[in-house]
Amino acid sequence: MKLREYNNRFQDRNLLGAIIDIQNKTPEAMPLVFYSGTLAWFQKVNGEMLVIEIAPDDILNAEVLGWKKGNPPPLMNGDTIVLLDGKKEVVIHVKEGDGSPFPIVTDKGQYKWEEIRLIVKGDRS
């Protein structure tokens, strides 16, 4: 999936930590540390930073290859959410874009992030 498609998959909408490879700009796939305007910071394996100039649409259209270890993984279809009242439901869809106040869809309803207490990765119970 492209980086822009992960927007609603994190409660805080934080896309940092995505591992992406920008053709002709990064020597290999690296985690995104920060981006602002036309600049993006990536972390090299040795811990050093690489700063590149890139158009915002180019970075948002980059394919995500994974997530930096230690970062929470994105909410995906098939994950189980535990609601504030303790009920468990399996996610069947996460809406893309900013239009919906209820981005998380299960077979029983649609939910806001504020209604979710816990995410269980890959649990289908």
> Which whole-number Å values give the CA distances from 84 to 69, 74, 87, in the listed order?
28, 20, 7
Cβ(7)–Cβ(98) under 8 Å?
yes
Tens-digit pLDDT profile for residues 109-119:
999 999 999 99
Cβ(56)–Cβ(62) under 8 Å?
no
Please give the single-letter amino acid code of residue 33.
V
Looking at per-residue confidence, does 97 or 9 come out higher? 9
Neighbour tally for 117: CB within 10 Å: 12
Window from 22-26, 34-38, 71-75, 120-124 with minimum mean pLDDT = 120-124
DSSP character for 24?
A: T
Q: Is the pLDDT of residue 125 over 80?
A: no
